[in-house]
Amino acid sequence: MIRFEGAAKRHPDGTVAVRGLDLEVPAGRTTVLVGPSGCGKTTILRMVNRMVEPTAGRVLLDGTDVAELPAAGLRRGIGYVIQQAGLFPHRRVIDNVATVPRLLGWDRKRARARAAELLELVGLPPETARRYPAQLSGGQQQRVGVARALAADPPVLLMDEPFSAVDPLVRAGLQEELLRLQAELGKTVLFVTHDIEEAVRLGDRVVVLREHGEIAQLADPHTLLTAPADAGVAAFLGRDRGLRGLGLRPAGSVPVAALDGRIAYEGWQLVLDPDGRPEHWLRGAERHPAPVFVPSRDSLRSALDAALLAPSGHAVAVDAEGRAVGTASRAAVVEALAATGPVGAPLPEQVPHAGR
Amino acid sequence: MNWLGWLHDFFADPAHRSGPDSIVHRLLEHLAFSAEALGLSALVALPLGLLIGYSGRGLFLVTAVAGVARALPTLGLVTLAVLLAGVGDTAVLLPLTALAAPPMLVAAAEGVRGTDPDVRDAARGIGLTHPQTLLRVCVPAAAPTLLAGVRTASVQVIATATVAAYVGLGGLGRYVIDGLATRDYPTTVGGALLVVLLAVGVQLLFALLIRLAAPPGTRPGPRTRARRTGGAAPLTPTDPANPPALVKDAP
Amino acid sequence: MLDGEPLVRWHWLGDHLGYLADLTADHAVIALVPVLLALLLAVPLGLACARFPRLYQPLAAVFNVVYALPSLAVFVVLIPYTGLATRQTVMVPLTCYALAVLLPTAVDGLRAVPEPVRQAATAMGYGPWRRLAAVELPASVPYLIGGLRVAAVSSISLAAVGALVGRGGLGYLFVDGFQRTFPTPILAGIVLVALLALATDLLLVAARRVLAPWERGAAR
């Protein structure tokens, strides 16, 4: 667990980066610091591994003030991923990943074996190992960066806008990968981003920051979207919060009509492949794709989306293997929505133009 | 090893005070000859370099010429020139002029090429012709780099002119060569000292000129890219990983 | 001027192959040992400058001035200390010239490591010196070799001037040819100096390919 106790950073020229932060970062969860540029989020992150020394207050790592730990040793025990990956250009990918184990005194063979494991873990093909960083794409470099940070199996991972420099499609893939990794590894992750979408997607807890590292709101993503603490946070969250909030609600509550022989609505007939996976909706010679959702995994938002897109007005529910198990009409999805209560909670004050 | 004694002997020698072997006369000879070689060389190298830099064509040729020129021994060229063309200043002028050209050629080409393409576009956009863009936009912006090239060339010429005393050229090199021939150490050392002072003086002059030529606000601070705009080592490559050397290191 | 003397007497070259080889070897030692010495000095000096940036400005200024000093004048001034016609008289100044080229390239190379890379190294637990040695120094190899190419080629051509103070390797051919009004050795000297420079340059290019393999990858 990481604990900030009145941690502050004032630069020598008198400007205040962080006024005094009290925050607990629980172990084994992902905590996201999000805020506009200049809010001090990177400074806060870097206090943990002493890349920035607080000018007042302290930062505790599992109860020990980090200022009392030797900087190099402390850092070897904390993974750190940054926006530009920061890979060593002169070392092969495998040796980049093996850096911290080597620093910790592992022999080359063992460090490389570990590095190879990690490359596989972050989804890079084995032939990447022999390449140099300049030969990789931006997304691949970021994966190597994550692998390198995880190499010595540190309990804590600091991530400073790690996915900001890659294009949106790659970013989505990397986010997915991080969620998968985190489910598997359960690290204490402190993640910095300026992208609220990313914060809501990745965080177990989201800390919205104002200037000087002041906490505007600390909440789980759902609460944040549905009940912003004030107009400022609401404005930062942007439009369509209600709809985006649906993305955080499970689709399990949607009533699914069981498949029953031949499925047809308004002339549209659902065509399945031999394994029972939906192929398309068919009416006469007209074909349309059949949007699907997985009730056990996807969100209400996905279910609604699938229902809206289906020409028949029915989303197809599928199991984890993609086999159709039933259908859900638009009305059924809305019914499930209504059952979960209002998406938004009352605001403490009026928000006339949220998102502008 | 009595430096003060030697220098006293050198400066007190009446022959070094007036007449053809006087310090002033030798210094003027050295300056005049160097200026002549430099001027002739600049007349050819600078316009050519500007054109190459502006058009972007023939840049490889420029770096190749600079690399080859650096590899050629000055003493060899000077002695060969005199053997082929006869004793006399004209024979020596040729290799000196040729050796001064490459640094200026490179500086002119790189200086113009280094000007902001957006600024060049803007100049063309507001209706300047190509010659106007080159002379009114690129040349002023490249002035510090150009001057740095002229400075490098001047260092080269002053040094080679000293060496050329061996084949009969006048100037401060005479003291060094004549002193060596007659084992007259005071004369040799005195001459060498004057050559050093001259080189340092010219360097300082150019450092000043380069500072003045840099547009206000772009003057290199103590730690910002001083080398590009001429604050430092003359012959160090502008792209250190790809120096204008003999072999082009690219597939 | 040549009074019927041909530009090149081929049989003279044939008769003096061993002699020319000896001079070339001597020239290589006089010109290149100083470059190696300068490299040995430039790396620690460069590291110190990268670690303590205030050191660099005055050092660079000094070497700037040194670089501009005409070689013959410097050779001559050293004679009382190192003697006439000794290798040291020529090699000491050549070391300084090479250092004047290598120090800025070494510092540039060490500084060329991108800031994120530096930060990542620090965050992984490298101390300042260890980071310089493990990250910045290897990454600066292409720069150092670029500097070596310039320094070596310059040194090879400058060393010939040493002939005027009695020790110039191939430069002796110029003095000899001039005194005898005999152009063959002069031409041979020019060609051999240029060839030596070319060979050295090629060697350094090859060294760069071996020592900095990541650069080839980057080009693709």
Q: What residue spans define the domains of chain C?
A: 40-159
Instruction: Output the pLDDT for position A311.
Output: 87
Question: pTM of the entire structure?
Answer: 0.78
The pLDDT, as a whole number, for residue B117 is 83
Contact A51 C138 (CB under 8 A): no
**Residues 2-21, chain C: which have Cβ within 8 Å of B?**
2
Instruction: Please state the domain extents for chain B.
Output: 22-213
B127: enclosing H helix or E strand: none
Tokens of C94: 């050549």
- Within 8 A of B68 by CB-CB distance, chain C residues are 194
For tokens 């994966």, name the residue.
A143
Q: Is B4 on the interface with C (CB under 8 A)?
A: no
Instruction: Say whether pLDDT at C219 is over 80.
Output: no
Suggest the residue from A88, A131, A156, A161 to mutate for an interface test with chain C (most C CBs closer than 10 A): A88
Given pLDDT bands bounded at 50, 70 and 90, which one contains residue B233?
A: very low
- Dist. CA A115–CA A129, nearest whole Å: 9
Identify the CA nearest to A227 among candidates A198, A209, A204, A206.
Answer: A206
- Strand order of the β-sheet with A292-293 is A257-258, A324-329, A314-318, A292-293
Query: Chain C residues with CB inside 8 Å of A72's CB?
Result: 125-127
| pLDDT at site B79 | 93
**Residue C54 C-alpha, separation from nearest chain A C-alpha, in angstroms:** 20
Read out DSSP for A191-236?
EEES-HHHHHHH-SEEEEE-GGG-EEEEE-HHHHHHS-SSHHHHHH
pLDDT, chain C, mean:
90
Which chains have 3 or more CB–CB distances shorter than 8 Å to chain C? A, B
What pLDDT does A280 receive?
87
| pLDDT recorded at residue C33 | 96
Q: Do C116 and A148 touch (CB under 8 A)?
A: no
Question: Which positions in chain C touch A131 (Cβ < 8 Å)?
Answer: 217
* Lowest-confidence pick of B220-229, C26-35, C140-149, C185-194: B220-229
Homologous superfamily of the B22-213 domain (CATH): MetI-like (1.10.3720.10)
State the pLDDT at residue A226: 83
CB contact under 8 A, C164 and B166: yes
d(CA A141, CA A86) in angstroms, rounded, equals 9
User: Consecutive sets of 10 residues in chain A, 356 residues long: mean pLDDT of each?
Assistant: 94 91 94 91 94 94 93 92 90 94 93 94 92 92 93 93 88 89 93 92 93 92 87 86 77 82 80 86 87 84 87 87 86 81 46 35
Most A CBs within 10 Å, among C117, C118, C122, C124, to test the A interface: C124
Taking CB atoms and an 8 Å limit, are C126 and A72 in contact across chains? yes
Is the distance from CB of C154 to CB of B159 less than 8 angstroms? no
* Residues linked to residue A208 through DSSP beta bridges, in sequence order: A34, A217
The Cα-based distances of C67 to B73, B232, C47, C74, C97 in angstroms read 17, 10, 21, 11, 5
**Segment B88-97 mean pLDDT:** 87
Residues of A in contact with C220 (CB under 8 A): 135
Q: Residues C169, C160: contact at Cβ < 8 Å?
A: yes
Residue A70 CB neighbours (<10 A)? 11
What percent of chain C is helix, strand and coil (3-state, nearest 5)? 85, 0, 15
Closest CB to C150 among B177, B243, B247: B243
Which among C70, C147, C189 has the least Cβ separation from residue B73? C189
| Predicted local distance difference test score (pLDDT) of residue C217 | 56
Q: Which residues of C touch B180 (CB under 8 A)?
A: 76, 164-165
Nearest CA to A76 out of A108, A105, A53 is that of: A105
Per the listing, tokens 């002939």 go with C163
Chain A contact partners (≥3 CB pairs within 8 A): C
> Nearest-CA distance from C34 to chain A in Å?
28
Q: Which of B76, B84, B234 sits opposite C174 (nearest CB)?
A: B76
Residue A207 sits at the chain C interface (C-beta within 8 Å): no
Task: Residue C73: count other Cβ atoms within 10 Å of its Cβ.
Answer: 28
Residue with tokens 């000007």: B115
Contact of C176 with chain B, judged by CB distance below 8 Å, is answered with no
pLDDT at A148: 94
Q: In B, which residues are within 8 Å of C73 by CB distance?
A: 162, 176, 191-193, 195-196, 199
- Tell me the chain C residues in contact with residue A133 when contact means C-beta distances shorter than 8 Å: 214
Rounded Cα gap, residues A56 and A44, in angstroms: 12
What are B103-161's pLDDT values in tens digits? 999 999 999 988 888 888 888 888 888 888 888 888 888 888 999 999 999 988 999 99
Angle between helices B59-71 and C183-211 (to 10 degrees): 120
Calculate how close chain C gets to B176, using CA atoms only, in Å: 8
Contact status, residue C32 vs residue B163, Cβ threshold 8 Å: no
Please tell me the distance from the alpha carbon of residue A87 to that of residue B163, in angstroms, as a whole number. Answer: 51
Q: What is the mean pLDDT of residues C199-213?
A: 93
- Would you call A84 an interface residue with chain C, using a CB distance cutoff of 8 Å? yes
Name residue C212's amino acid.
Answer: A
Calculate the average pLDDT of chain B. 81
| C46 reaches B (C-beta below 8 A) | no
User: Using CB atoms and an 8 Å cut-off, which of residues 122-181 of chain A contact chain C?
Assistant: 131-135, 145, 148, 158
Looking at chain C, which residue has its C-alpha nearest residue B248? C205
Distance from C-alpha of C143 to C-alpha of C185, rounded to nearest angstrom: 37
Q: C219 contacts in B (CB within 8 Å)?
A: 251
Domains and CATH numbers, chain A: 2-246 (3.40.50.300), 251-339 (3.10.580.10)
Which residue in chain A has the smallest CA separation from C142?
A90
Neighbours of C62 (CB within 10 A): 13
- CB half-sphere exposure, A264, CA atoms < 13 A: 8
Closest-CA residue to B173 (of B185, B163, B181, B182) = B163
List the single residue in B with minimal CA-CA distance to C157.
B73
Helices (H), chain B: 3-12, 23-55, 59-71, 74-85, 89-113, 117-125, 130-132, 139-163, 173-181, 185-213
Distance in angstroms (rounded) separating the CA atoms of residues A243 and A226:
10
- In chain B, the percentage of residues whose pLDDT exceeds 90 is 36
Contacts of C138 in chain A (CB under 8 A): 90-91
> What is the spatial distance between Cα C144 and Cα B250, in angstroms, rounded to a whole number?
17
What CATH class has C40-159? mainly alpha
Q: Do B192 and C74 touch (CB under 8 A)?
A: yes
CB of C68 closer than 8 Å to CB of C4:
no
CA atoms within 13 A on the CB side of A215: 19
Place of tokens 């093909």: A125
Q: Closest Cα partner for A192 from A350, A14, A37?
A: A37
- pLDDT band with cut points at 50, 70 and 90 for residue B245: very low
Give yes or no for a contact between B77 and C171, defined as CB atoms under 8 angstroms apart: no
Closest Cβ–Cβ partner in C64, C146, C178 for B240: C146
Distance of CA A63 to the CA centre of its chain: 27
Give me the sign of the Cα torsion angle B193, B198, B204, B207. Answer: negative
Q: Are B40 and B99 in contact (CB under 8 A)?
A: no
- Tell which B residues from 143 to 182 touch C, by Cβ distance under 8 Å: 155, 158-159, 162-163, 166-167, 173, 176-177, 180
Beta carbons of B246 and C101 less than 8 Å apart:
no
The answer to whether A142 and A166 are in contact (CB under 8 A) is: yes
pLDDT in tens, B184-217: 888 998 999 999 999 999 989 998 998 888 766 6
Residue in chain B lying closest to C189 (CA): B76
Which region, left, alpha or beta, applies to residue C158 given φ > 0 means left and ψ of -120 to 50 means alpha?
A: alpha
Of A73, A80, A89, the CB nearest to C214: A89
Averaged over C112-132, what is the pLDDT? 91
Q: How many residues does chain A have?
A: 356
Determine whether the interchain pair C109/B240 forms a contact, defined as Cβ–Cβ distance below 8 Å. yes
Query: What percentage of chain B carries pLDDT values higher than 70?
Result: 85
Minimum distance, in Å, between the CA of residue C214 and any CA atom of chain A: 6
Residues in C closer than 8 angstroms to A75, CB to CB, are 122-125
A284: left (phi over 0), alpha (psi -120 to 50) or beta: left
Indicate the pLDDT class of residue B43, thresholds 50, 70 and 90: very high
Across the strands, what pairs with A258?
A326
